[in-house]
Structure 1
Amino acid sequence: MADGSHIDELMELTAQSLSYLEINEHFNIIKEIGRGKYGKVLLVTHRCKTPMALKVMPKTSTKLQGFLREYCISLQLSCHPCIVGLFGIAFQSAEHYGFAQELVIGRDLFAVIQPRVGIPEGAVKRCVLQVASALEFIHEHGLVHRDIKPENILLSDRHCCRVKLADFGLSQKRGTLISFISGTLPYMAPELCAMALEAGQKASRAAPLSVEPSLDTWAFGVLIFCILTGFFPWEHCTASDDFYQEFADWCQEPTGAKVPSQWKRFTPTSMEMFSRLLALDAKKRCKVAEVRAYLNEDWVRTVPPGGRVVDHAKVKAGSTLSVSR
């Protein structure tokens, strides 16, 4: 079992051997297939006509160390069948850093989630089993993904028979300290939301946070909720969010308290699973592998009438994630 300590050495070696090439001279660009704050992903073919996805990041907004870390972590983990593979091609051009990865023909998980409905429970369980396997592998290597969400889960088919976890741009070694974050997302654990800067703040009032697998466990729990229902359970994990606070109150006394309004569709068995994945105390969260114990049980019983829906698309488009690295 690796501890992630050799990532730094791999980054140094990659920096020394990073080839210099212009994209148009070495790749045939077919079309753009993805774009984000990081840069863009291009569908290309190489000289040998092999189709691949080329992730390119502008040098103006990308630090060399950040690029090297993402590439080296992705390369180390790409042998797992539920993680996007890499070709071992990393380079820089005059304006970009880039690397080539496996082309997954299909859509991401976000694209198949029906708003306010989700996707069928059978497909959810197939997806959950594969993502759990990928996360186990990541954590065994002393690493934390830190960006588990439907947009980063690629599908070969809409029934989730074969899925792959992607995007290691925020991944870090376990134990790395985070000083602050700018902005929050619904997938972020409460201890991470506590690191968010308030308006006018230049430093967080909280002590630095150690990056641990429990951050992925929390995001994994929120992911399961989202794909089962088609909406978020809350917008952010702070006391100012009534839906999060309602869940937090239930967690303090799950046997006696009323089941939160957003969670009434779930069976008692699945609520037990959620209570372990989404334990407020990070040290008490279960490992992602423990969801396997619940796969043969029903997770959803009936969809309750009414209930508040958080616009998934709005949150996706309106929230930005900027992390101190």
Structure 2
Amino acid sequence: MTDVAANELDERCFLSAQAMSSLKVSDHFQVLKFLGEGSYGKVMLAVHRKRGTPMALKFFPRQSTTLTSFLREYNLSLSYCTHPSLTRALGIFFSTSSHYVFAQQAGLYGDLYSVIVSEVGLDEEHVQRVMSQLSGAVSHLHSLGFVHRDIKPENIFLCDSSCRWVKLGDFGLTRAVGYTVGAVWYESPFCTPEVEPAKEAEKAKDCSDLGEKETIWITVEPSIDSWALGILTYCLLTGCFPWEESTTDDPGYTKYKSWFERGDAKEEADISTVEKENRRNNPPPSQFRGLSSHVMALLRLLLHPDPEQRGSPEEILSYLGGPWLMETEKEERRRDEEAQREARKLGEVGGGVGEELVREGRGER
């Protein structure tokens, strides 16, 4: 699958390079407003002058963007992002004197980052709604042989104000499964712990006079996206991150890793029951206070320190519907207890009425 996906994408890039035209933006589009920007460039909301179609135009500076990387992102978005929660290109791409440009579906309600309340997060229903959609979107990419590698709130776009429809976008770092890339360490909880050697190598370089360090190569695997989905789940529920960076010298991550290793890692039929037992005997670090046993079981899967044992995006679906916050867990328990009390009352009343009817049938008074 890896070679097929990579070769097919390369072929599409080669063919599209032959058909690329040079246009003046104002001749074909009416640019309405600025939507966002990133390390790649900027995105503008525009309307096609002839068709009247609203779209987002993504501008890549030619000075800092290779034609290959531009065409890779365009073709990947156009040909492989067919899931409803993946941002898809619209078949329009061209160059100007200063930029490479392609058109894509527009997220008119901003990105997920803009609606997360700091240190509060989002309503639990919204969080589960978002993660359900992303589970399907990322699983779709993985099934085609690609790993996104840059899942974060800024790259998830809103198609409505209630998160009923979100789209994962920005495929600049997306690569085929099995592809080797140079390990680049960046200080972020989204950066997986298995690339920590890259940071250590950077430290060694700073302390050495031996010149350039040797590049550390890592293999692109779906577990990279699983880790990011776990961090995203925590971020949406709490409005913050569990740690600053996923390294053994970060206090937050160290506490988590120690807690994880103390826990029962065996496969069990009822993972929620096991997690509740773990919470009693091995309470999670303080940064996870407020999260239910149910979601902690999910986070143990997605945030497994060992990439080979990390859960897949599809596993999120198994945890939907249950409580992800302790407040919700307590409320559900209270409702269950009330229902049980009502059932007992009905049983007692029903039993009394039944006995009376039996006595009447016997002619007893």
Tell me the TM-score normalized by structure 1.
0.88
Q: Which runs of 5+ in 2 are unaligned?
A: 264-277, 329-365
1:66-100 deviation line (CA, Å, top 9, x unaligned) = 11111111112332111112211111111111100
Measure, in 2, the Cα distance between the counterparts of 1:73 and 1:103. Answer: 17
Measure, in 1, the Cα distance between the counterparts of 2:189 and 2:129. Answer: 23
Deviation of 1:195 after TM superposition, in Å, equals 2.6
Measure, in 1, the Cα distance between the counterparts of 2:44 and 2:25. Answer: 10
Measure, in 1, the Cα distance between the counterparts of 2:215 and 2:59. Answer: 35
Measure, in 2, the Cα distance between the counterparts of 1:31 and 1:264. Answer: 41
Q: Which runs of 5+ in 1 are unaligned?
A: 304-325
Runs ≥4 in structure 1, deviation > 3 angstroms?
A: 199-207, 255-258
Match of 1:88 in 2: 91
Aligned residue identity for 2:232: L
Match of 1:229 in 2: 238
- TM-aligned CA distance change 1:206 to 1:278, over 3 Å: farther
Q: Does 1:210 align with 2:219?
A: yes
SS at match of 1:191: helix
Q: Does 1:295 align with 2:320?
A: yes
Measure, in 1, the Cα distance between the counterparts of 2:312 and 2:159. Answer: 26
Aligned residue identity for 1:11: C
SS at match of 2:226: helix
Tell me the TM-score normalized by structure 2.
0.79
- TM-aligned CA distance change 1:182 to 1:246, over 3 Å: closer
Deviation of 1:206 after TM superposition, in Å, equals 7.5
Match of 2:144 in 1: 141
Match of 1:283 in 2: 308
Taking the TM superposition and a 5 Å limit, the aligned residue runs for 1:21-40 are 21-40=23-42
Of the candidates 198, 202, 206, which is equivalent to residue 198 of structure 1?
A: 202
SS at match of 1:194: helix
Taking the TM superposition and a 5 Å limit, the aligned residue runs for 1:111-130 are 111-130=114-133
Measure, in 2, the Cα distance between the counterparts of 1:188 and 1:299. Answer: 24
Q: Does 1:171 align with 2:174?
A: yes
Match of 2:47 in 1: 45
Q: Is the CA contact 2:61–2:99 (under 8 Å) kept in the aligned structure 1? A: yes
Figure out how many residues of one structure are paired with residues of the other and give that number: 303
Bigger CA drift: 195-204 or 228-237?
195-204
Match of 2:333 in 1: none
Match of 1:321 in 2: none
**Higher-helix-fraction structure:** 2
Match of 2:12 in 1: 10
Q: Does 1:267 align with 2:292?
A: yes
Measure, in 1, the Cα distance between the counterparts of 2:241 and 2:128. Answer: 18
Measure, in 1, the Cα distance between the counterparts of 2:174 and 2:111. Answer: 19
Of the candidates 251, 260, 266, which is equivalent to residue 260 of structure 2?
A: 251
Q: Is the CA contact 1:26–1:46 (under 8 Å) kept in the aligned structure 2? A: yes
Of the candidates 38, 57, 60, which is equivalent to residue 60 of structure 2?
A: 57
SS at match of 1:4: helix
Task: Please say which structure displays the higher CA radius of gyration.
Answer: 2
SS at match of 2:37: strand
Q: Is the CA contact 1:195–1:204 (under 8 Å) kept in the aligned structure 2? A: no
Q: Is the CA contact 2:55–2:103 (under 8 Å) kept in the aligned structure 1? A: yes
Q: Is the CA contact 2:16–2:71 (under 8 Å) kept in the aligned structure 1? A: yes
Q: Is the CA contact 1:180–1:204 (under 8 Å) kept in the aligned structure 2? A: no
SS at match of 1:276: helix
Q: Is the CA contact 1:11–1:68 (under 8 Å) kept in the aligned structure 2? A: yes
Aligned residue identity for 1:31: K
Relative contact order (alpha carbons < 8 A, sep ≥ 6): 1 or 2 greater? 1
Measure, in 2, the Cα distance between the counterparts of 1:42 and 1:219. Answer: 27
1:236-268 deviation line (CA, Å, top 9, x unaligned) = 111111001111111111245431111121122
Measure, in 1, the Cα distance between the counterparts of 2:326 and 2:34. Answer: 41
Measure, in 2, the Cα distance between the counterparts of 1:194 and 1:175. Answer: 19
Measure, in 1, the Cα distance between the counterparts of 2:181 and 2:198. Answer: 8
Q: Is the CA contact 2:185–2:195 (under 8 Å) kept in the aligned structure 1? A: no
1:152-199 deviation line (CA, Å, top 9, x unaligned) = 111123321111111111111111112231523221111134334625
Of the candidates 228, 248, 257, which is equivalent to residue 239 of structure 1?
A: 248
1:42-73 deviation line (CA, Å, top 9, x unaligned) = 11111222111000110111111111111111
Root-mean-square deviation (CA), in Å?
1.9
Measure, in 1, the Cα distance between the counterparts of 2:326 and 2:161. Answer: 23
